[in-house]
Amino acid sequence: MGEKGKGNWRRTVNRYAGLGSAILGMAIIMSSFLFLDNLFAWYATVIIGLLVVLGGFLYGAHPFLTSERRHFELRAEVDQFIGLVRRLNTAAMAAGSEEEFERVKTEMMASVERMAELAGKEV
């Protein structure tokens, strides 16, 4: 599971961004009642508050601070291996492509060896 000892600031931001933006946006909207004598300022603060709430909602749907990867080369090799799995399946389903099947299988074995070399190396 996750590491308990070391806190990750990205996870903390992702966890509290929606709540924080909702509270901040509502505080901005509620403070707009201080500007009742100036209609333009009232509209501006309400719109800004709604944009803050909307921004928090959109960040909750598509957070941009989620990349916690440290093993980039291993991830690239795994992505390449997935492509090899697709090629192997295509070769297995095609009639008369035994040599292609064996070639892809050999490439997969080499890819597994490269993954073993890259495992645990942070870049």
What pLDDT sits at residue 23?
Answer: 93
Rounded Cα gap, residues 76 and 80, in angstroms: 6
Domain ranges in the chain are 9-61, 72-118
- pLDDT bin (cut points 50, 70, 90) of residue 69 is low
- pLDDT bin (cut points 50, 70, 90) of residue 34 is confident
* Structure-block tokens of residue 82: 């997935």
pLDDT for residue 120 is more than 90: no
> Please, what is the end-to-end C-alpha distance for the chain in angstroms?
22
Residues 14 and 66: beta-carbon distance below 8 Å:
yes
DSSP classification of residue 7 = -
Taking the model in full, what pTM does it have? 0.49
Tens of pLDDT along 2-15?
Answer: 445 455 777 788 78
